[in-house]
Amino acid sequence: MTNILQRLTVGILLFPDVEVLDFAGPFEVFSRARLTPGIESRRSNESAPFQVFTVSKSTAKIIATGGLMVLPDYSFSNHPKIDLLVVPGGFGTRSLLTDQETLEWIRNVSSGARLTVSVCTGALLLTKAELLNGLEATTHWGAIELLESINQAGQHNIKVLSDKRFVDSGNVVTSAGVSAGIDMALHIVERMFGKAVADETATYIEYRRLHQ
């Protein structure tokens, strides 16, 4: 097997009070996916289709919800090109709803990415970044009303769906709360590399997939 696989870059946004599983679930799925099945293939990146890293406003440590301390790999100003942008949620999204630097960064990166995805209340940020205009979307069950009110106030014309594990609107995919990000990430793996690769990755992490 040749070693010329061009890995897709996955940039995961971090911010203060980001929900841990919102970013750790997709991080796990994308970083442990392999085109070659089995345990041994996980010992190297040879058949890894994704290169995953974290990005934040600066590279200073981030304190996630519950107190987990994470060091971002890159800042807004020095990260590599991002093919797949992951925007997680958490209570920390609330103060970012009016943070133009973050919203513009999301909009700019998304415009050059193949795909932009959100987990949980990350959908609120995609909405404010104008990335969900005219599309179907979902979020954490506890934030459906908030998403709808932001939608209506900003005339984004989003069709807000509840009771969906994730909503695939083409270039933008949104998921329900927290652990639903794992299913969304596996769905993206399936879209890009097929069901066998996604199912085998789920088997590796002993996750039973949910589609809705």
**Residues annotated catalytic, as ranges:** 120
Tokens 């100003």 found at: 77
Stretch that binds a copy of itself, among 51-59, 75-83, 126-134, 154-162 (CB under 8 A): 51-59
Element housing 174 (H / E):
strand 172-175
| Contact call for residue 179 and a copy of itself (CB under 8 A) | yes
* CA-closest candidate to residue 126, choices 117, 114, 115: 117
Among 39, 134, 153, 155, binds a copy of itself (CB under 8 A): 39
Cα separation of 163 and 150, whole Å? 19
In contact, 111 and 5? CB cutoff 8 Å: no
CA 185 to each of CA 82, 85, 148, 196: distance values in angstroms, whole numbers, following the listed order: 16, 11, 24, 14
Cα separation of 124 and 24, whole Å? 19
| Contact call for residue 80 and a copy of itself (CB under 8 A) | no
Q: Please, what is the minimum distance in Å from the beta carbon of residue 159 to a copy of itself?
A: 20
| Contact call for residue 200 and a copy of itself (CB under 8 A) | no
| Contact call for residue 182 and a copy of itself (CB under 8 A) | yes
| Contact call for residue 21 and a copy of itself (CB under 8 A) | yes
Footprint of a copy of itself (CB under 8 A):
19-21, 24-25, 27-28, 31-32, 39, 42-43, 52-54, 61, 65-73, 91, 140-142, 176-180, 182, 204-208, 210
